[in-house]
Amino acid sequence: MSSNQTPKSIQNRASLTRFAWLSIAAAVLTICLKSGAYLLTGSVGLLSDAIESLINLAAAGMALWMLTIAARPPDESHMYGHGKAEYFSSTVEGILILVAAIGIAFTAIERLLNPIPLEQLGIGLGISLAATLVNFAVSRVLFSVGKNNRSITLEADAHHLMTDVWTSVGVIGGVGAVALTGWQILDPLVALAVAINIVWTGIQLIRRSIAGLMDASLPQSEQQKIEAVLNRYREKGIDFHALRTREAASRRFVSVHVLVPGDWTVHDSHHIAEDLERDIRAAIGDAVVITHLEPIEDEISLNDIQLDR
């Protein structure tokens, strides 16, 4: 048996697309600001920052597309819904980050070999700082909404924007150091550091997305909450085995075999299973909980622990 409720995570998915539009608007604005800062100063560090904002725009567009797909209700071809579409967004975003890092590194190396004096640093830094504040504000909004709604797409976008914020802080610091010291080499060196930083972010996003696509188990903290619920029922003479969990974007799945005394009626056993499903959902939040009833005295019950039900 299993819960038949329509998950809230699917019901409110469509409403999350407006935050993807917010990310797109922020990306367009910061591209304009950072490109202007680069054209004024000629700083390859600021250019690397502008390139990363282009990646932000592509990622935000992908996020909008995948959130739209994830909002679709289950159908005959996708009976568990379309939530995993969000993993494609975060995977593509991770790949785009790696591509941007390669482009930044090549640009920085070329500038190391052929240094160019920077100009109008004060105005350029002021414009870049304004773009950084925009990214910071949007990132905080996306992270909060993504965390509350278990959207890996919005969380990935938020982390990417925060990486952009720290990148911008580093670039501004590097360009500022050039202005103070006159050491032109600091600008491409900071750009190289930016490239290395965003490579790490890209790898982390790809790893998390692959884990989701591979049906990774729920976090240990949530598994402990499930075990706490099961322990309460064990005190009633019930036992369990074959507990399995997995996470698919915003949706969580839990399956477990429930071993009840053989002399219990189907009616009583059914109600215990329903209560158990309800308590697990209460412990970890919205989830699809599937239970399988078995008599505790029957040795055959122990033979199917490894079955993939």
> pLDDT tens digit string along 99-127?
777 877 777 777 777 766 655 556 777 77
Angle between helices 44-70 and 121-148 (to 10 degrees): 20
Average pLDDT over residues 2-24: 64
User: What distance in Å separates the CA atoms of residue 261 and residue 239, rounded to the nearest whole number?
Assistant: 9
Average pLDDT over residues 256-277: 91
pLDDT confidence bin for 13, thresholds 50/70/90: low
> pLDDT tens digit string along 286-301?
788 999 988 888 776 6
Q: Is the pLDDT of residue 72 over 90?
A: no
Q: Is the pLDDT of residue 160 over 90?
A: no
Higher-confidence residue of 305 and 75: namely: 75
Higher-confidence residue of 7 and 72: namely: 72
Average pLDDT over residues 55-80: 78
Ordered structural domains, the chain, with CATH: 8-213 (1.20.1510.10), 220-304 (3.30.70.1350)
CB 289 within 8 A of CB 277: yes
User: What distance in Å separates the CA atoms of residue 38 and residue 290, rounded to the nearest whole number?
Assistant: 56
Average pLDDT over residues 192-199: 78
Q: Is the pLDDT of residue 309 over 60?
A: no
User: What distance in Å separates the CA atoms of residue 140 and residue 162, rounded to the nearest whole number?
Assistant: 8
Percentage of the chain beyond pLDDT 70 is: 84
Q: Is the pLDDT of residue 304 over 80?
A: no
Residue-wise burial string across 4-32, b where 16 or more C-beta atoms lie within 10 A, e elsewhere: eeebebbeebeebbebbebbbebbebbbe
Q: Is the pLDDT of residue 307 over 90?
A: no
SS3 256: strand
Task: Say whether pTM exceeds 0.85.
Answer: no
